[in-house]
């Protein structure tokens, strides 16, 4: 079941006694837990009927006893178990889950992983609870996710502005959502988000970023590439090697994949580049400037310097220096 469907049911006062949310995508778990904490009960009801536990400090007996209490001055009570992945003896909750109280809404957030399917608790939950696992969003879905989130808040955003956010933050949905909220507070009536807004309110340079580094590599513009890398060196948080290399690889690998496609028309390539005309043009430029052997070389250099970046075959060279060395080899040879 999707987040939207669960929230829609909750808004209609359609509740189940037990909800178990787990998986690697913490953003959706946090979203549901936040709603359960602040929206299911009114403020006056919550005073007597909202109980919150944290897995690191909670014990199964206290959680179970809280769930077995009856609500006061309300139809239902809400019991939340946050960070449940840290709770000891969590399997002992299965006795309550097997026979839950209908007047209790028990919501569990089990973050960053999924429950072992071999456990008795899992088997009981799968029969008795609304159990939803949220997988980490795939990298090729992040661009559209950002655009849809911005649209849901009543704004338009330019593709390059989306790319800046995506390349700077990656697939950390919680951080992306926080940055978009920061934007919405500062826009002051403006409805179209562009690169200037990203630079002004989030602090991502529209001139010195991985997106522009990729453009410089594509054009074989070494002077511009070194200028960008010098900025990265002076601003270590702007694009550390651990962030920059995956972003470059995402594009290089797509260009490499084009050579294996029978149909290389723009119509066939558009889905590969997320229907972004700038990315598609950049792919054509890279193929023209590097050719198949050159693209292979770019990917091999990325792999080599990724290993160096984590200390394999390197004695601690700073990431910025590794990036410069790599880019020179890419462009000059």
Domain 210-331 has CATH 1.20.272.10: yes
Task: Report the distance separating Cα 105 and Cα 17, nearest Å.
Answer: 5
According to the model, what pLDDT value does residue 242 have? 86
Residues whose CB is less than 8 angstroms from the CB of residue 258 and which lie 6 or more positions away in sequence, other chains included: 264, 269, 272, 283, 287
189: number of Cβ within 10 Å = 4
Q: Distance between CA atoms of 286 and 309, rounded to whole angstroms?
A: 25
CATH topology identical between 3-133 and 210-331 = no
Fold of 3-133: Rossmann fold (3.40.50)
Model confidence pLDDT, tens digit, residues 2-36: 899 999 999 999 999 999 999 999 999 999 999 99
Domain ranges of the chain: 3-133, 139-202, 210-331
> Reduced to 3 states, what is the DSSP secondary structure of residue 242?
helix
Percent of the chain at pLDDT > 70 equals 100
The pLDDT, as a whole number, for residue 273 is 84
Provide the greatest CA pair distance for the chain.
75
Q: Are the C-beta atoms of 158 and 192 separated by less than 8 Å?
A: yes
Nearest to 160 by CA among 171, 173, 146: 146
226-275 tens-digit pLDDT: 999 999 999 888 888 888 898 899 899 999 999 999 999 999 998 888 77
pTM as predicted = 0.73
From the candidate CATH numbers 3.40.50.720, 1.10.3720.10, 3.10.20.30, 1.10.8.60, the one assigned to the domain spanning 139-202? 1.10.8.60
Cα Rg of the chain (Å, integer): 25
Relative to beta strand 18-23, strand 50-54 is unpaired
pLDDT in tens, 107-160: 999 999 999 999 999 999 999 999 999 999 987 788 889 999 999 999 999 988
pLDDT > 80? residue 43: yes
Instruction: Using pLDDT thresholds of 50, 70 and 90, give the confidence band for residue 70.
Output: very high
């Amino acid at each position: 079941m999707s987040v939207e469907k669960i929230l829609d049911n909750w808004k209609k006062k359609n509740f189940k006694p037990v909800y178990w949310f787990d998986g690697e995508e913490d953003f959706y778990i946090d979203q549901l837990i936040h709603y359960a904490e602040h929206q299911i009960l009114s403020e006056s009801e919550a005073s007597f009927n909202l109980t919150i536990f944290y897995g690191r400090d909670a014990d199964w007996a206290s959680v179970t006893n809280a769930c077995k209490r009856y609500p006061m001055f309300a139809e239902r009570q809400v019991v939340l178990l946050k960070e449940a992945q840290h709770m000891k003896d969590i399997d002992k909750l299965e006795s309550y889950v097997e026979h839950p109280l209908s007047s209790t809404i028990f919501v569990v957030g089990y973050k960053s992983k999924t429950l072992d399917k071999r456990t008795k608790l899992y088997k009981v939950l799968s029969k008795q609870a609304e159990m939803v696992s949220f997988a980490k969003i795939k990298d090729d879905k992040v661009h559209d996710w950002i655009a849809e989130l911005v649209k849901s808040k009543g704004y338009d955003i330019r593709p390059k502005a989306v790319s800046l956010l995506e390349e700077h933050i990656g697939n950390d949905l919680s951080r992306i959502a926080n940055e978009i909220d920061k934007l919405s507070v500062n826009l002051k009536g403006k409805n179209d988000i562009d690169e200037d807004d990203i630079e002004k309110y989030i602090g991502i340079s529209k001139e010195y970023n991985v997106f522009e580094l990729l453009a410089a590599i594509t054009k074989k513009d070494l002077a511009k590439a070194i200028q960008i890398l010098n900025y990265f060196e002076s601003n270590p948080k702007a694009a550390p090697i651990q962030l920059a290399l995956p972003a470059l690889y995402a594009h290089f690998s797509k260009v490499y994949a084009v050579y294996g496609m029978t149909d290389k028309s723009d119509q066939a390539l558009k889905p590969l580049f997320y229907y972004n005309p700038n990315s598609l043009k950049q792919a054509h430029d890279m193929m023209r400037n590097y050719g198949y052997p050159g693209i292979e070389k770019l990917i091999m250099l990325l792999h080599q310097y990724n290993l160096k970046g984590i200390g394999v075959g390197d004695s601690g060279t700073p990431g910025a220096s590794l990036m410069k060395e790599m880019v020179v080899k890419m462009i000059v040879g």
